[in-house]
Amino acid sequence: MMKKLYILTSIILLSSFSSALKAQENDFIKEYLERMENSKKYLLFVAETMPEDKYDYKATPESMSFAENLMHIAWAMDWHSQSLMGGREARDWNTDTELKVDNKSKQEMIDKISETFDITMDFISNFDPNKLEDRLDYFGANRTKRQIMLLLADHITHHRAQMLVSMRLNGLKPPRYVLYQ
């Protein structure tokens, strides 16, 4: 009888522990999606604020232009989510122009970055939280899918910051910083 009680108690404790972990993982995804939504709003505001005739501006000759930074964010979101985490074959950088500046107008780029955010957030909202600890090769580093998601958020921030510098160098006041994104 005592052995059965011990086994039953162990099962209950283990299941409550795994339920708590699963709730944490679901909370991570929920919080991450909130961050992405705020990041999207802020980036769109930045993209809308920059005049179209300044989209080709480069802070230095070797820098990406404002437009290239914007579309690079779209490319990175697609690659991190759909290819790296989702297993879809990566786009061919040399031939695929959907997420590149190509001959897009300012509005076409804004529409494309908005659409890519939506696709990425949809992917993440349907992502199995049990796979957050799965590991991948990330440029030679062994990272969890949770880390990949955090790296993507950092990458968006990095390139958006370069866009803000371009605005300042053109005498424009960037939109006020939005917290939690």
Q: Which structural domains are found in the chain, ordered by start?
A: 32-88+95-169 (1.20.120.450)
Residue-wise pLDDT for 12-44, tens only, equals 656 654 444 444 558 999 999 999 999 999 999
Name the pTM for this structure: 0.84
What residue type is 76 in one-letter code?
A: A
Please state the φ and ψ torsions of residue 127, each to the nearest 5 degrees: -75, 135
177 confidence band (pLDDT: 50, 70, 90): confident
What does each C-alpha distance from 69 to 13, 23, 48, 64, 88 come to in angstroms? 49, 36, 14, 6, 23
Instruction: Look at residue 176 in the predicted model and tell me its pLDDT.
Output: 87
Return the residue matching tokens 């970055």.
Answer: 113
Helices assigned H by DSSP within 50-144: 66-78, 106-125
Instruction: Look at residue 148 in the predicted model and tell me its pLDDT.
Output: 96
Average pLDDT over residues 113-137: 96
Instruction: Look at residue 93 in the predicted model and tell me its pLDDT.
Output: 86
E-only strand ranges, the chain:
135-138, 141-144
- Taking the C-alpha atoms of residue 103 and residue 124, their distance in angstroms, rounded to an integer, is 30
Instruction: Look at residue 28 in the predicted model and tell me its pLDDT.
Output: 96
Residue-wise pLDDT for 70-110, tens only, equals 999 999 999 999 999 999 999 998 899 999 999 999 999 99
The tokens for 56 are 């080709």
